Structure 1
Amino acid sequence: MPASRLWRDTLLTAVVPLIWGSTYLVTTQWLPPGLPFTAGVLRVLPAGLLLLLWTRHLPQQQEWPRLLLLSLLNIGAFQALLFVAAYRLPGGIAAVLGAIQPLLMMALLWGLERQTPRPLVLLAACAGLAGMAVLLNAGNARWDSIGVLAAAGGAVVMALGMYLARRWGSSLPLLALTGWQLALGGLMLLPAALWLDPPLPALSAANVAGYAYLSLVGALLAYGLWFRGLRLLPPVAVSALGLLSPVAAVILGWVALGQRLHGWTLIGMVTVLASVLCVQLASSRRPARAG
């Protein structure tokens, strides 16, 4: 792939974690409180149905088992674990645990495809994890065992879902594949929203705008670009781009909510950005294979 096209695709994919970094701000400022699973359903299900109505492609019969598993991993299970972690952990610990995703992807590629990670990629991923801990000051936060398991589980299911989506491929066009995963994942979340969340209250204009943003921008646009990146870019590089999400959240908190940026926060941010850049540069080369 030409270098110019590679970096264009990388920048387009990097838009996704920047969008996802705005989720906390939108959720806390525009959405009614105490409805985590409902927010997940309203985020992904309408976006999935819109894409299905637009594309009108059915999966082949033999693709259904894989499609259901991908929908569970990438959307249903990930969203559920994400919200459990968000409600039981400070954001710092949840984000630091999510930052292990590039390392998990390297482990999957090494264990299942015998792709030995390049030392620079491994070092950069570890630096990104350390930078995330500094950025979010997670060291002084309170640990909750269920929240920790949920956050770690979320990183695992997303890494596995990304790996399988890349390895299996699909006969479906990109937007149809995105729509099916969003719709099926939203249906999988629906029982939790009905049984565990209180009823949806009367919505204000701000509430409607918040849900619309999360669905149209945070799901329909973002997941379309994300799955496109998975098809075109090295999987470890895509995983590392996810570290941009909490960086965007910190910057938005500073700009929109007046939250202070301390010296250690800036050091952590620079470390994370340098880590992401190093992973993109190093993982774009042909991977080495073991023995």
Structure 2
Amino acid sequence: MSPMAVSRPALIALTALAPVSWGTTYALTTEFLPADRPLFTGLMRALPAGLLLLALSRVLPRGAWWWKAAVLGALNIGAFFPLLFLSAYRLPGGMAAVVGSAGPLFVAGLSALLLGQRPTRRTLLTGAVAAFGVSLVVLRAAGALDALGVLAAVAATASMSTGTVLTQRWGRPEGVGPLALTGWQLTAGGLLIAPLALLVEGAPPALDARAAGGYLYLAVANTAVAYWLWFRGIGRLTATQVTFLGPLSPLTAAVVGWAALGQALTPVQLVGMGLAFGATVAGQFTTREARVVRFTRRNPLDRATDLTDTAPRR
């Protein structure tokens, strides 16, 4: 039996571990890591994890995959991390998480353009319910919205959504597994963040044992393992299915805040958690349409891609 036929529920559950892990980032950052160093934290998430996976896979890109890995690394890591941190610092009460929870709607639109998959009304409705549920969980008292923060949040969501869809469209080179593909992207993204972190935040801070342990968890479990599971899932599930797992991240953050940090959960938040989780589950059962790659109307980014690169992979 093929891995696809063995256990799709198990594959979904393993992929879901990625956003669950990312949901621990807020508590980790506030309790273990140096304050006000978001870019350095993004760098420590991406580059060590990428180099570790490169060392384990011992595979480098070839041909067109040099620029493809750079594009995916920029979209999924290098641009996404700084934009996400910028929006989180400038927006009140979890608004960045609400914008991020609209990822399934972004992916549905991009899948129609790049994968030839038309979104169903059920998919759009489920995506709207997920975003509404997350808003009930994370939004607090209303505050003034910062225009730059809103733009950064929208750009972060669009960046990750585009990277998710392109990751599925391009697949993987023949003989290359998700471990190597993840390492390429994390390394490329980390190299993009490094000069920005140095320019904006200066030299790296001194780290005590607590912070060093936090960064170790962040690089290995929260990033290397989590992104490997995420990109592995993208290669075997539809882009829409994978992105519907995203709301698990703010839901996990709320649960960790309640369990570990003593943060109360209101009845409204509990209702929101139920809606968002229900939408996440429903998103795995939306009508799965065949992946269509239109060779007569190629995307400009695919000009150097041959039929092997664009063929659906199992």
* Whole-Å separation in 1 of the counterparts to 2:169 and 2:265: 41
Relative contact order (C-alpha < 8 Å, sep 6+): which is higher?
1
Q: Confirm whether residue 142 of structure 1 aligns to residue 147 of structure 2.
A: no
* Whole-Å separation in 1 of the counterparts to 2:113 and 2:50: 33
Out of 166, 169, 173, the position equivalent to 1:167 is 169
Report if the CA contact (8 A) 2:20-2:248 is conserved: yes
* Whole-Å separation in 2 of the counterparts to 1:180 and 1:112: 22
TM-score, reference length from structure 2: 0.88
Aligned to 2:289: 286
Change (3 A) 1:94 1:9: same
Q: What letter matches 1:273 in structure 2?
A: F
Q: What letter matches 1:186 in structure 2?
A: G
* Whole-Å separation in 2 of the counterparts to 1:215 and 1:34: 18
* Whole-Å separation in 2 of the counterparts to 1:27 and 1:142: 25
Spell out the pairing of 1:44-63 with structure 2 (5 A cutoff): 44-63=46-65
Measured after TM superposition, the shift of residue 202 of structure 1 is 2.1
TM-score, reference length from structure 1: 0.95
Aligned to 1:112: 114
Report if the CA contact (8 A) 1:93-1:141 is conserved: no
Out of 127, 130, 133, the position equivalent to 1:131 is 133
Spell out the pairing of 1:1-291 with structure 2 (5 A cutoff): 1-2=4-5, 5-137=7-139, 140-171=142-173, 172-283=176-287, 285-286=288-289
* Whole-Å separation in 2 of the counterparts to 1:232 and 1:248: 24
Change (3 A) 1:5 1:139: farther
Report if the CA contact (8 A) 2:178-2:228 is conserved: yes
Please state which structure has a larger fraction of its residues in helix. 1
Change (3 A) 1:26 1:288: closer
Measured after TM superposition, the shift of residue 138 of structure 1 is 5.1
Aligned to 2:306: none
Q: What letter matches 1:121 in structure 2?
A: T
Q: What letter matches 2:134 in structure 1?
A: M
Change (3 A) 1:97 1:70: same
* Whole-Å separation in 2 of the counterparts to 1:105 and 1:138: 27
* Whole-Å separation in 1 of the counterparts to 2:218 and 2:144: 29
Aligned to 2:309: none
Unaligned runs of 5+ in 2: 293-314
Change (3 A) 1:234 1:137: same
Unaligned runs of 5+ in 1: none
Change (3 A) 1:124 1:232: same
Q: Deviations over 1:162-217 (max 9, x none)?
A: 11111011213211111111111101000111010143332111100110010001
* Whole-Å separation in 1 of the counterparts to 2:160 and 2:229: 16
Measured after TM superposition, the shift of residue 86 of structure 1 is 1.5
Q: Root-mean-square deviation (CA), in Å?
A: 1.6
Q: What letter matches 1:205 in structure 2?
A: A
* Whole-Å separation in 2 of the counterparts to 1:203 and 1:137: 33
How many aligned positions are there?
A: 287
Report if the CA contact (8 A) 2:127-2:279 is conserved: yes
